[in-house]
Chain A
Amino acid sequence: MPRHHTQPTVVPLPPPTAALDGVSADVARVAQVRAGHMEGWAELYQAHYAAIFRHVRYLGGGGAPVEDLVQEVFARALVGLPGFDGRSPFSTWLHGVAVNVVRNHWRSRQSTETAHQRLQDINAVHRVSASNEVDRVHMHRRRAEAVYAILDQLPSHLREAFVLRDLEGFSPADAAQQLGISPGNLSVRASRARERIRKELEQLGWLAARKEQSS
């Protein structure tokens, strides 16, 4: 196992990455890290922090300790960097690491009863305040919480597909790559998740029931 220790007299520092495009710069930075130069990791951290923060926030929902999870993502990515084979962009690989970290987080806090209760609580607030215009901003927030509470009840593979596709807006290819599944599978999962979420939202009164489409 290579030792990540700066030894510039032994391993020459790779060229600066500032002039390279994003993907190429990442490749160069990864090479730096593999050569034992942590400056490369610092640059990768700087370059990808915001995107990973956003990704984790979307995946984890409002109750997640986002900064802890982001820290965990970068720590695990550094430790697991030898596993990065360069077949996909570093960014995609890193997003995949984030998916795993958040998945573990979900798993650790998984409690269907709790999730269900949370959903009921949110809905109770909704019913009290939905008619008041003053509360529209807060109602939007309640809606967001309701959606995340529903997501809390979904199986992880549906939840992740839905978040990546419908909330974060990743392309099917990108989302599938992050989850390590085919784009077709991703689309199916996202579609199923969407159906479940819609049904739940209808039952809770957040959405009107869809009219039957005539064939």
Chain B
Amino acid sequence: MNDDPDLSALLGDVTRCVDEDIVADPGCPDLAAVMARAHELDPQRVPADVVAEVSQWAPVVSIQQGHRRRRTRDDVELLAVIEGVRAHVEQDVAARMGTPPLETAAPTEPPPSRRVWVAVLAVAAVLLLIGAGVFQGIRGQLDRARASRNEASLVGPAPSSEPSHEVVPARRPEVEPEAPTPELAPEPEVAPPLEAEPEPEPELTPVRTRPDRRTPPMSLDELDAAAHAAWKAGDLVKAERLFRQLAKRGGSGRLGDLAYGDLFTLARQRGAPAKEAALWREYLRRFPRGRFADDARAGLCRRATGDAQRTCWQRYLDDMPEGSHRAQAKRAQSKVEDSE
């Protein structure tokens, strides 16, 4: 396709970034909104009664299939890495439960492809979520939630019971179609978004390691490199500890700011939604206008409920009228108005 290796390498970065974005935000399907828009485009072809009928169905489609990938070489590499991550998760779970790990393929060295690592982080997050879920007995709840959601797939009328936590209520057909809600959800294979996970969450392993005062402290760059190396090696506890140090020593500067971004990702990877929320709050106290402030605020709003959520989104819109999550904020507000 492209005989220009330099350009190919650069484009590899581009696809990696885009894939990363897609994994982080795979979108939130809203068939009712689609139908409402189709009705708006052509009321004869898509009459109001059809829109009304569909809006009574389950409002959220579960996306079971992964994103289409066309690069078979990467698929092979990815599978190899997934096996490694899976083995790590099983070992982690087994260590926590005091049982021998399940048989998995031996961890493999990461492949050279950079694109793969993007997916790896996401997969690691997914698998660690599941692993932590086993430890806490959450997996059963996840399965039930998945089953519940599958039952609610769009093949017929929605059950009459209240929608489960992860199901976004359908928008009424007469509402102006608007962008569905972006969710900071993990890979589509995972049933519920993190926001929907029940409390209590698995506690992170406490960090007991104390810095060795006999050795000179690492520079910030060294600290960052060590944190990423630990992360890459799968030592999430150590990575978190090092990023914590980096956040502390980086102060209010760029390094401190960036370290929080990694801490957010780590918290998610370790399946700790409450920890993540706490980090967001801490971050916003230190960096109210930081580079992750938009996402952190939106994340907190998603976790809020009832009036607190409404207030949260309103403040978000007031402070960040051009924020990345304004569509979701507006949708949340319009839902409240609809119900009033």
Residues of A at the B interface (CB closer than 8 Å) are 1, 3-6, 38-39, 41-43, 45-47, 49-51, 53-54, 57-58, 62, 65-68, 70-72, 74-76, 78-79, 133-135, 138, 140-141, 143-144, 147-148, 165-170, 190, 194, 197-198, 201, 206-208, 210
The distance in angstroms between the C-alpha atoms of A42 and B4, with both chains bound, is 43
Contact in complex: B13, A143 (CB < 8 Å): yes
Contacting pair B327 A46 (CB below 8 A): no
Contact B34 A50 (CB under 8 A): no
Nearest first, the 4 closest Cβ-Cβ pairs linking A and B are A42-B154, A75-B37, A144-B17, A75-B38
**Judging by beta carbons under 8 Å apart, are B21 and A62 in contact?**
yes
A54 to B258, CA, bound (A): 27
List the B residue with the shortest CB-CB distance to A81.
B45
Residues of A with C-beta under 8 A to B177: 71, 75
Whether the pair A138, B15 counts as a contact (CB closer than 8 A) is no
Distance in angstroms between the alpha carbons of A43 and B2 in the assembled complex: 37
| Distance between A48 CB and nearest chain B CB, rounded to angstroms | 9
Q: Give the distance to chain B from A6, nearest Cβ to Cβ, in Å.
A: 6
Q: Is the CB of B34 within 8 A of A75?
A: yes
Chain A residues near B318: list those with CB within 8 A.
Answer: none
> In the assembly, what is the distance between CA of A58 and CA of B54, in Å?
29
Whether the Cβ atoms of A207 and B6 lie closer than 8 Å is yes
Q: Chain A: interface secondary structure?
A: helix
Q: Is the CB of A207 within 8 A of B7?
A: yes
Decide yes or no: A50 and B327 within 8 Å by CB, A1-B45, A78-B38 being known contacts: no
Q: Does B14 contact A (CB under 8 A)?
A: yes
Q: Measured between alpha carbons, how far is A66 from B30 in the docked complex, in Å?
A: 13
A65 to B34, CA, bound (A): 15
- Knowing A4-B47, A78-B34, the reply to whether A68 touches B67 (Cβ < 8 A) is no
With contacts A74-B34, A134-B221, A143-B10 taken as known, whether A68 is within 8 angstroms of B45 at the C-beta atoms is: no
Interface stretch, picked from B58-66, B87-95, B197-205, B233-241, is B58-66
Q: Mark B150-164, 1 if CB is under 8 A from A, else 0.
A: 000111100000000
Known contacts A53-B22, A78-B46, A147-B14, then 20 further A-B pairs from the complex at CB < 8 Å, ordered by chain A residue: A5-B49, A39-B154, A39-B156, A42-B31, A42-B61, A45-B61, A46-B154, A47-B65, A53-B26, A67-B28, A68-B178, A71-B30, A71-B179, A74-B34, A74-B38, A79-B41, A147-B11, A148-B14, A168-B70, A201-B7
Beta-carbon contact of A134 and B258 below 8 Å: yes
20 A–B contacts from the bound complex (CB under 8 Å):
A1-B44, A3-B45, A3-B47, A5-B47, A42-B57, A49-B27, A50-B65, A50-B67, A50-B68, A51-B65, A57-B18, A57-B21, A72-B37, A75-B38, A75-B177, A76-B38, A133-B221, A140-B16, A140-B17, A167-B15
